[in-house]
Amino acid sequence: MLHFFVRRVLLGVLVLIGLSVLTFIITRVAPGDPAALWVGPRASVAQIERATVTLGLNRPLPVQYAIYMDDLAHGNLGLSIETHRPVSSEIASYLPASLELVVSGIVIAILLGLPLGVLAAMRPGGVFDAVARLLAVLSVSVPTFWLAFLLQIVFFKDLGLLPLAGRVSNLVIALDPITRITGFMTVDSLLQGNWVAFFSALRHLVLPAVTIAAYPFGLIVRMVRASLLDVIALDHVRLLRALGQKRYTIAFRYALKNALPPTLTVIALTFAYSLTGTFLVESVFNWPGLGNYTAQAVITNNYPAVMGVTIVIGVIYVVLNLVVDLVIAGIDPRVRYV
């Protein structure tokens, strides 16, 4: 187990170093002069030259990379070329908004997808199975940004039930502002007992969260169904059946546990995928998250910001994969000896 753990951690570190090199190269060969952006549009040539020296842009690339990694080891992601503020604090202010969105989306996907997948596998070819397969195919095939527009047309324009975009209403910002604690607006407003703000935040969260949920929902239904069908063919399930256990008990209590590892992997992978894929959804719902921040940074060639986001997402991705591997090794002892 220890050997397995050490190997996985080392591999994760290797992936992160490779990721940083790759991003560094890509952002540095991009056209455009960061020094000119740093000093602003009305700067003189001399000012730009001075900024080039301050930012260390006149040094050889490998040296620049070494300096960057040294700073990174001390928890310093550098200053944003655009705002001159530390990238780490900017990411910290945008990340919670994206996380709130992605976590809610994944939770919705699990709550709906898991039971539907189990019901589908219990009677292959039955009604539930047909509905589940159709829904699963449609939800992994729908363009997220288009689904977002459809939801806006139906729930905002036609039914008038939910708000169009943003995180809370302007009225709440003016009259019942939320003090920032975790950065999750729903959690913060609850902690402060601010019910008006809580319901506003919740109502704003519904449409984007449902949009995010579509893709993982489809994957979870397919994965649960397929792996449960494999498990049901095993002898111990036949034994349970012979012992007279109820079908629902067998499916949900016994078989589901064996079918969970591949589903967990899929959930972890889609979590990381959704985190980077949020910009399509964030741009439609005007959600002030990491996706919008990154898109802006890429357009202005704000390389410390792009590097910072890539590294933060890379770390989340690697840690998540590691955790899932360990959990699976915990559930399924066979994995440890592969």
Partner 1 sequence: MGRTLRFYVRRNLMTSIGLCVLAVFVLTAILAPWIAPYPGDAAGLVHPAHQLLPPSWQHPMGTDELGRDLFSLVLLGSRVSLGGGFVTIVFALLIGVTLGLIAGYAGGWLDEAIMRFTDIVLGFPSLLLAVAIAATLGPSLDHAVLAMALSWWPWYTRLIRSQVLSLRNADFVQAARLSGRSPARILVRHILPNAVTPVVVQASMDLGSVILTLAGLSFLGLGAQPPTPEWGLIIANGQNYVLTNWWYVTFPGLAILLAVSALNLVGDGLNDVLNRRERGVL
In the complex, the residues that contact partner 1 under the rule CB under 8 A are 11, 14-16, 18-19, 22-23, 26-27, 29-31, 121-124, 133-134, 137-138, 140-146, 149-150, 152-153, 156-157, 229-234, 237-238, 241, 247, 250-251, 255, 272-273, 275-277, 279-280, 283-284, 294-295, 298-299, 301, 306, 309-310, 313-314, 317-318
Q: Please identify, using beta-carbon distances, which residue of 188 and 282 lies nearer to partner 1.
A: 282
3-class secondary-structure state, position 136: helix
Output the smallest distance, CB 71 to partner 1, in A.
21
Of 192 and 245, nearer to partner 1 (C-beta) is: 245
Alpha helices (H) along 30-86: 34-39, 45-54, 61-73
Minimum CB separation from partner 1 for residue 163, in Å? Answer: 13
Q: How far is the CB of 137 from partner 1 (least distance, A)?
A: 5
- Tally of CB atoms within 10 A around 309: 25
Q: Which is nearer to partner 1, 175 or 234 (by Cβ)? A: 234
Q: What is the dihedral of CA 92, 215, 108, 199, to 10 degrees?
A: 60
Residue 279, CB-side half-sphere exposure with 13 Å CA sphere: 11
Tokens of 285: 């719902």
The CA distance from 165 to 206, in Å, is 10
Closest approach, Cβ 189 to partner 1, in A, equals 28
Tally helices (H) and strands (E) across the chain: 15, 0
Rounded least distance, CB 234 to partner 1, Å:
7
Residue 209 φ/ψ, nearest 5 degrees: -65, -40
Please give the Cα distance from 26 to 20 (Å, whole number): 10
Q: Which is nearer to partner 1, 28 or 50 (CB)?
A: 28
Give me the count of residues in the chain: 338
Residue 162 corresponds to which tokens in the numbers above?
Answer: 């939910």
Min dist. Cβ of residue 147 to partner 1 (A): 8
Residue in 311, 314, 291 with CA at minimum distance from that of residue 303: 311
Nearer to partner 1, 15 or 202 (CB): 15
Q: What are phi and psi of 178, to 5 degrees?
A: -95, 130
Angle (CA) 274-85-177 rounded to 5° is: 70
* Cβ-contact 253, 302 below 8 angstroms: no
CB of 152 or CB of 200, closer to partner 1: 152
Nearest to 217 by CA among 146, 65, 111, 292: 111
Name the residue nearer to partner 1 (CB basis): 45 or 299. 299
Nearer to partner 1, 145 or 199 (CB): 145
Nearer to partner 1, 26 or 181 (CB): 26
Question: Shortest gap between Cβ of 38 and partner 1 (angstroms)?
Answer: 18
Q: Nearest 5 degrees, angle CA 26-CA 307-CA 82?
A: 105
Closest contact distance (angstroms) between CB of 298 and partner 1 is 5
Q: How far is the CB of 117 from partner 1 (least distance, A)?
A: 13
Distance between CA 298 and CA 314 in Å, rounded? 17
